[in-house]
A and B are shown apart, each in its own frame.
Chain A
Amino acid sequence: QVTLRESGPALLKPTQTLTLTCTFSGFSFTTAGMCVSWIRQPPGKAPEWLARIDWEGDKYYSPSLRTRLTISKDTSKDEVVFTMINMDPVDTATYYCAREDSSYGLFDYWGQGIVVTVSS
Protein backbone atom coordinates (compact mmCIF):
# COMPACT_ATOMS: atom_id res chain seq x y z
CA GLN A 1 0.00 0.00 0.00
CA VAL A 2 1.45 3.32 -1.12
CA THR A 3 1.22 6.23 1.29
CA LEU A 4 2.85 9.65 1.45
CA ARG A 5 2.73 12.08 4.35
CA GLU A 6 3.90 15.68 4.46
CA SER A 7 5.27 17.24 7.62
CA GLY A 8 6.56 20.67 8.49
CA PRO A 9 5.50 24.01 9.89
CA ALA A 10 1.98 25.32 9.52
CA LEU A 11 2.88 28.98 9.99
CA LEU A 12 5.79 31.03 8.75
CA LYS A 13 6.69 34.69 8.76
CA PRO A 14 7.63 36.52 5.56
CA THR A 15 11.27 35.99 4.48
CA GLN A 16 11.54 32.73 6.44
CA THR A 17 12.48 29.43 4.83
CA LEU A 18 9.96 26.62 4.44
CA THR A 19 11.25 23.10 4.95
CA LEU A 20 8.88 20.21 4.32
CA THR A 21 9.48 16.50 4.56
CA CYS A 22 7.64 13.85 2.59
CA THR A 23 7.78 10.44 4.26
CA PHE A 24 6.51 7.62 2.12
CA SER A 25 5.95 3.89 2.19
CA GLY A 26 4.95 1.21 -0.26
CA PHE A 27 7.60 2.09 -2.82
CA SER A 28 11.29 2.92 -2.89
CA PHE A 29 13.76 5.04 -4.78
CA THR A 30 15.73 1.84 -5.30
CA THR A 31 13.15 1.03 -7.98
CA ALA A 32 13.91 2.53 -11.37
CA GLY A 33 11.30 5.00 -12.55
CA MET A 34 10.18 6.26 -9.15
CA CYS A 35 9.91 10.00 -8.65
CA VAL A 36 8.45 12.29 -6.00
CA SER A 37 7.20 15.78 -6.74
CA TRP A 38 6.08 18.69 -4.60
CA ILE A 39 2.94 20.49 -5.67
CA ARG A 40 1.11 23.37 -4.02
CA GLN A 41 -2.42 24.63 -4.26
CA PRO A 42 -3.42 28.08 -3.02
CA PRO A 43 -6.98 28.29 -1.66
CA GLY A 44 -9.47 28.22 -4.51
CA LYS A 45 -6.79 27.90 -7.20
CA ALA A 46 -5.30 25.23 -9.41
CA PRO A 47 -2.39 23.05 -8.34
CA GLU A 48 1.07 24.36 -9.17
CA TRP A 49 3.96 21.97 -9.62
CA LEU A 50 7.13 22.97 -7.79
CA ALA A 51 9.85 20.36 -7.97
CA ARG A 52 10.65 16.72 -8.65
CA ILE A 53 13.40 14.29 -7.76
CA ASP A 54 13.83 10.95 -9.42
CA TRP A 55 15.30 7.60 -8.39
CA GLU A 56 18.69 8.57 -9.79
CA GLY A 57 18.72 11.84 -7.86
CA ASP A 58 18.06 14.05 -10.87
CA LYS A 59 16.20 17.20 -9.90
CA TYR A 60 13.71 19.35 -11.78
CA TYR A 61 12.29 22.70 -10.71
CA SER A 62 9.53 25.07 -11.71
CA PRO A 63 11.19 27.60 -14.03
CA SER A 64 9.44 30.51 -12.31
CA LEU A 65 10.50 29.48 -8.79
CA ARG A 66 13.79 27.73 -9.48
CA THR A 67 15.96 30.19 -7.59
CA ARG A 68 14.00 29.63 -4.37
CA LEU A 69 13.64 25.85 -4.36
CA THR A 70 15.71 22.87 -3.31
CA ILE A 71 14.70 19.23 -3.32
CA SER A 72 16.65 16.28 -1.96
CA LYS A 73 16.06 12.67 -0.99
CA ASP A 74 17.20 10.17 1.58
CA THR A 75 16.70 6.78 0.00
CA SER A 76 17.48 4.88 3.20
CA LYS A 77 14.76 6.75 5.08
CA ASP A 78 12.21 6.88 2.24
CA GLU A 79 12.07 10.64 2.59
CA VAL A 80 12.11 13.67 0.31
CA VAL A 81 12.93 17.09 1.72
CA PHE A 82 11.77 20.30 0.07
CA THR A 83 12.85 23.82 0.89
CA MET A 84 11.60 27.16 -0.35
CA ILE A 85 13.43 30.28 0.71
CA ASN A 86 12.18 33.80 1.20
CA MET A 87 8.55 32.92 1.86
CA ASP A 88 5.87 35.50 1.16
CA PRO A 89 2.15 35.65 1.97
CA VAL A 90 1.40 34.72 -1.66
CA ASP A 91 3.07 31.37 -0.95
CA THR A 92 0.24 30.47 1.42
CA ALA A 93 -1.13 27.18 0.12
CA THR A 94 -1.64 23.50 0.74
CA TYR A 95 1.60 21.74 -0.12
CA TYR A 96 1.46 18.16 -1.37
CA CYS A 97 4.01 15.54 -2.20
CA ALA A 98 3.01 13.07 -4.88
CA ARG A 99 4.48 9.99 -6.51
CA GLU A 100 5.23 9.37 -10.13
CA ASP A 101 6.16 5.98 -11.46
CA SER A 102 6.99 4.49 -14.82
CA SER A 103 3.68 2.59 -15.03
CA TYR A 104 1.30 5.51 -14.63
CA GLY A 105 3.38 8.62 -15.08
CA LEU A 106 2.35 11.70 -13.19
CA PHE A 107 0.99 11.65 -9.64
CA ASP A 108 -0.85 8.41 -9.06
CA TYR A 109 -0.57 8.82 -5.28
CA TRP A 110 -0.72 12.02 -3.25
CA GLY A 111 -0.14 12.85 0.39
CA GLN A 112 -2.99 14.43 2.31
CA GLY A 113 -1.29 17.81 2.08
CA ILE A 114 -0.09 20.29 4.65
CA VAL A 115 -1.51 23.79 4.94
CA VAL A 116 1.23 26.40 5.13
CA THR A 117 0.30 29.97 6.00
CA VAL A 118 2.73 32.86 5.61
CA SER A 119 1.80 35.83 7.70
CA SER A 120 3.50 38.44 9.82
Chain B
Amino acid sequence: QSVLTQPPSASGTPGQRVIISCSASSSNIGSEYVYWYQQHPGTTPKLLIYRNTQRPSGVSDRFSGSKSGTSASLAISGLRSDDEADYYCAAWDDSLSGYVIFGGGTKLTVL
Protein backbone atom coordinates (compact mmCIF):
# COMPACT_ATOMS: atom_id res chain seq x y z
CA GLN B 1 0.00 0.00 0.00
CA SER B 2 1.07 3.55 -0.67
CA VAL B 3 2.13 5.83 2.16
CA LEU B 4 1.94 9.60 2.61
CA THR B 5 4.85 10.85 4.68
CA GLN B 6 4.68 14.03 6.74
CA PRO B 7 7.18 15.43 9.22
CA PRO B 8 5.91 14.59 12.72
CA SER B 9 6.36 18.12 13.94
CA ALA B 10 6.78 21.70 12.80
CA SER B 11 7.02 24.98 14.63
CA GLY B 12 7.13 28.70 14.13
CA THR B 13 6.67 31.99 15.91
CA PRO B 14 3.66 34.27 15.47
CA GLY B 15 3.72 36.02 12.11
CA GLN B 16 6.09 33.52 10.50
CA ARG B 17 5.42 31.34 7.48
CA VAL B 18 5.51 27.59 7.97
CA ILE B 19 5.45 24.87 5.32
CA ILE B 20 4.34 21.30 5.97
CA SER B 21 5.24 18.67 3.38
CA CYS B 22 3.45 15.51 2.30
CA SER B 23 5.34 13.02 0.16
CA ALA B 24 3.81 9.97 -1.54
CA SER B 25 5.66 6.68 -1.73
CA SER B 26 3.99 5.70 -4.95
CA SER B 27 3.52 7.29 -8.33
CA ASN B 28 -0.14 6.22 -8.07
CA ILE B 29 -0.69 9.44 -6.15
CA GLY B 30 0.97 11.59 -8.76
CA SER B 31 -2.18 12.24 -10.74
CA GLU B 32 -4.50 12.40 -7.74
CA TYR B 33 -5.61 15.39 -5.73
CA VAL B 34 -4.22 16.04 -2.25
CA TYR B 35 -6.37 17.30 0.61
CA TRP B 36 -5.35 18.92 3.88
CA TYR B 37 -7.14 18.79 7.22
CA GLN B 38 -6.65 20.71 10.43
CA GLN B 39 -7.53 19.12 13.76
CA HIS B 40 -7.45 20.85 17.09
CA PRO B 41 -7.36 18.61 20.19
CA GLY B 42 -10.69 16.98 20.92
CA THR B 43 -12.30 18.17 17.71
CA THR B 44 -13.24 16.73 14.33
CA PRO B 45 -10.84 17.19 11.39
CA LYS B 46 -11.68 20.23 9.29
CA LEU B 47 -11.12 20.44 5.55
CA LEU B 48 -8.51 23.12 4.93
CA ILE B 49 -7.42 22.59 1.31
CA TYR B 50 -9.12 20.52 -1.36
CA ARG B 51 -7.92 19.44 -4.78
CA ASN B 52 -4.32 20.50 -4.11
CA THR B 53 -4.82 24.25 -3.95
CA GLN B 54 -8.45 25.17 -3.29
CA ARG B 55 -9.76 26.65 -0.05
CA PRO B 56 -13.31 25.96 1.10
CA SER B 57 -15.42 28.97 1.90
CA GLY B 58 -14.52 30.33 5.30
CA VAL B 59 -10.93 29.11 5.37
CA SER B 60 -8.44 31.92 5.76
CA ASP B 61 -6.26 32.82 2.77
CA ARG B 62 -3.29 32.44 5.12
CA PHE B 63 -3.53 28.76 4.23
CA SER B 64 -2.38 27.66 0.79
CA GLY B 65 -1.65 24.34 -0.86
CA SER B 66 0.57 23.24 -3.69
CA LYS B 67 1.49 19.99 -5.40
CA SER B 68 4.24 18.86 -7.70
CA GLY B 69 4.45 15.26 -8.83
CA THR B 70 4.12 13.03 -5.80
CA SER B 71 4.80 15.77 -3.25
CA ALA B 72 2.44 18.33 -1.79
CA SER B 73 2.83 21.18 0.65
CA LEU B 74 0.67 23.21 2.97
CA ALA B 75 1.86 26.73 3.69
CA ILE B 76 0.60 28.77 6.60
CA SER B 77 1.52 32.44 6.57
CA GLY B 78 1.10 35.01 9.32
CA LEU B 79 1.22 32.24 11.91
CA ARG B 80 -1.22 32.65 14.80
CA SER B 81 -1.51 30.88 18.13
CA ASP B 82 -4.77 29.23 17.10
CA ASP B 83 -3.01 27.59 14.14
CA GLU B 84 -1.47 25.24 16.69
CA ALA B 85 -3.04 21.93 15.72
CA ASP B 86 -2.43 18.65 13.93
CA TYR B 87 -2.39 18.76 10.13
CA TYR B 88 -3.06 15.77 7.91
CA CYS B 89 -2.77 15.29 4.18
CA ALA B 90 -4.90 12.74 2.33
CA ALA B 91 -5.24 11.43 -1.18
CA TRP B 92 -7.03 8.82 -3.21
CA ASP B 93 -4.88 5.93 -4.43
CA ASP B 94 -6.28 4.41 -7.57
CA SER B 95 -4.50 1.08 -7.14
CA LEU B 96 -5.94 -2.01 -5.41
CA SER B 97 -9.50 -1.07 -6.48
CA GLY B 98 -9.11 2.39 -4.97
CA TYR B 99 -8.73 3.61 -1.42
CA VAL B 100 -7.92 6.72 0.58
CA ILE B 101 -4.68 7.21 2.46
CA PHE B 102 -3.91 9.73 5.18
CA GLY B 103 -0.52 11.04 6.11
CA GLY B 104 0.76 10.40 9.61
CA GLY B 105 0.13 13.98 10.61
CA THR B 106 2.22 16.99 11.57
CA LYS B 107 1.84 18.62 14.94
CA LEU B 108 2.33 22.35 14.53
CA THR B 109 3.52 24.28 17.57
CA VAL B 110 3.36 28.06 17.69
CA LEU B 111 6.20 29.15 19.92
Interface residue ranges, A against B (CB under 8 Å): 37, 45-49, 52, 60-64, 96, 104-108, 110-113
Q: B39 to nearest A CB, angstroms? A: 8
Known: A106-B33, A106-B92, A108-B56. 6 other contacts (CB 8 A): A47-B102, A49-B99, A52-B100, A104-B51, A104-B56, A105-B33
* B47 interfacial by beta-carbon distance below 8 Å: yes
Contacts of A48 in B (CB 8 A): 102
Of the candidates A46, A52, A63, A105, the one having the most CB atoms from chain B within 10 angstroms of its own CB is: A46
The CA-CA distance from A96 to B45 in the complex, in Å, is 10
Contact A105 B103 (CB under 8 A): no
Chain B interfacial residues counted at CB < 8 A: 25
Residue of B44, B50, B104 near A112 (CB, 8 A) is B44
The CA-CA distance from A48 to B105 in the complex, in Å, is 11
Contact A106 B90 (CB under 8 A): yes
Contacts of B92 in A (CB 8 A): 106
Contact A47 B99 (CB under 8 A): no
Residue of B37, B54, B98, B101 near A107 (CB, 8 A) is B37
Contact A105 B51 (CB under 8 A): yes
Of the candidates B33, B45, B105, the one having the most CB atoms from chain A within 10 angstroms of its own CB is: B45
The CA-CA distance from A104 to B35 in the complex, in Å, is 10
Residue of A49, A63, A107 near B47 (CB, 8 A) is A107
Contacts of B45 in A (CB 8 A): 47, 96, 107, 110
* B1 interfacial by beta-carbon distance below 8 Å: yes
Beta-carbon contacts under 8 Å, B10-56 to A? 33, 35, 37, 44-47, 50-51, 54, 56
* B88 interfacial by beta-carbon distance below 8 Å: yes
